Amino acid sequence: MSGHSKWSTIKRKKEAKDIKRGNLFTKLGNAIALAAKEGGGDPDSNFKLRLAIEKAQTGNMPKEKIKMAIERGAGVKNQGGDLAEIVYEGYGPQGIAVLVDVTTDNRQKTAAEMKFIFDRGGGTLSGPGSVSYLFRKRGVVTVKTEGKTEDALLSAAVTAGAEDIEYDEEETMMYTNPKDLMKVEESLKAQGLQIVEAELSYQPTTYVQITDPEAVSKVLSFMEKFEESDEVQKVHANFDIPKELLPITE
């Protein structure tokens, strides 16, 4: 399993237990508002907005809050500053490469916060292009494995038009060309698979192996600090940690 998939799984389970609901709703609302700003407020014609709404619904965000976020992004309600999407790049503990997707209306404040988190965690904030070449943008559909074999899910993925899969006994990730994400998601649903999440993400092309328990703790703590920020939407990193060294999150 890659660092991407492990962190996605850990983060999703921690969101259900640890992350304050208000913090989560702020993140989800910002993602919806930005998507509506960029492509309009109709999820039928704005796939990025549709993905943001689906994620908000999975997070049990109230319908009224979703509606308000759409209106804010589409300019129906002028609330706060002008939202922008920024990707920060840098290195973390053990030399892992990190991409941080941020939605913010205060670039100066956010830049200072990102630098603080990198520095405090033993990493370094660097410039655009410094680590992004170690990742490639892909569509990712995560499905419940539900006892299905790897061959069965691979067959479903091929039928849907996915490029490859990352099998796990609990959740399996299916990778697609970004432009095929909606088509693949809909096909997998039609085949009866339970969708956990569909998103555009960054998959590492090379990995940093981490096998020391103390180093594992430092890396995961470093990642969590970014997730605690209201402005951070996603964090991508190229670490690879043996499953037996991951914290128990059940």
Instruction: Express as a percent the part of the chain with pLDDT over 90.
Output: 72
Q: What is the CATH number of the domain that holds 20?
A: 1.10.10.200
Same domain membership, residue 215 and residue 99 = yes
**Looking at 18-22, 55-59, 193-197, which range is the least confident one?**
18-22
Most confident of 6-10, 94-98, 104-108, 243-247: 94-98
Domain annotation covers residue 247: no
Q: Give me the pLDDT at residue 1, please.
A: 37
Domain annotation covers residue 249: no
Same domain membership, residue 160 and residue 52 = no
Q: Give me the pLDDT at residue 248, please.
A: 61
Q: Give me the pLDDT at residue 2, please.
A: 44
Nearest partner of 235 among 250, 216, 221, 249, judged by Cα: 221
Same domain membership, residue 121 and residue 35 = no
Domain annotation covers residue 121: yes
**Sign of the four-CA dihedral 13, 19, 23, 25:** positive
Residue type at 177?
A: N
Same domain membership, residue 154 and residue 36 = no
More confident: 14 or 55: 55
The confidence band for 101, taking pLDDT boundaries of 50, 70 and 90, is: very high
Q: Give me the pLDDT at residue 242, please.
A: 85
Q: Give me the pLDDT at residue 11, please.
A: 67
Residue that terminates a domain, selected from 74, 100, 116: 74
pLDDT (tens digit per residue) in 4-34:
546 666 666 555 554 555 688 888 999 999 9
Q: What is the CATH number of the domain that holds 164?
A: 3.30.70.980
The confidence band for 227, taking pLDDT boundaries of 50, 70 and 90, is: confident
pLDDT (tens digit per residue) in 115-139:
999 999 999 999 999 999 999 999 9
Q: Give me the pLDDT at residue 154, please.
A: 96
Reduce the secondary structure of the chain to three states and give it as a string. Answer: CCHHHHHHHHHHHHHHHCCCHHHHHHHHHHHHHHHHHHHCCCCCCCHHHHHHHHHHHHCCCCHHHHHHHHHHHHCCCCCCCCCEEEEEEEECHHHCEEEEEEEECCHHHHHHHHHHHHHHCCCEEECCCCCHHHEEEEEEEEEECCCCCHHHHHHHHHHHCCCEEECCCCEEEEEECHHHHHHHHHHHHHCCCCEEEEEEEEEECCCEECCCHHHHHHHHHHHHHHHCCCCEEEEEECEECCHHHCCCCC
Domain annotation covers residue 225: yes
Same domain membership, residue 160 and residue 69 = no
Q: Give me the pLDDT at residue 23, please.
A: 80
Tell how strand 208-209 and strand 239-240 pair up: parallel
- How many folded domains does the chain comprise? 3
Reported pTM: 0.84
Domain span at residue 143? 134-204
Q: Give me the pLDDT at residue 5, please.
A: 47
Domain annotation covers residue 79: no
| Tokens, residue 27 | 């993140």
Same domain membership, residue 124 and residue 223 = yes
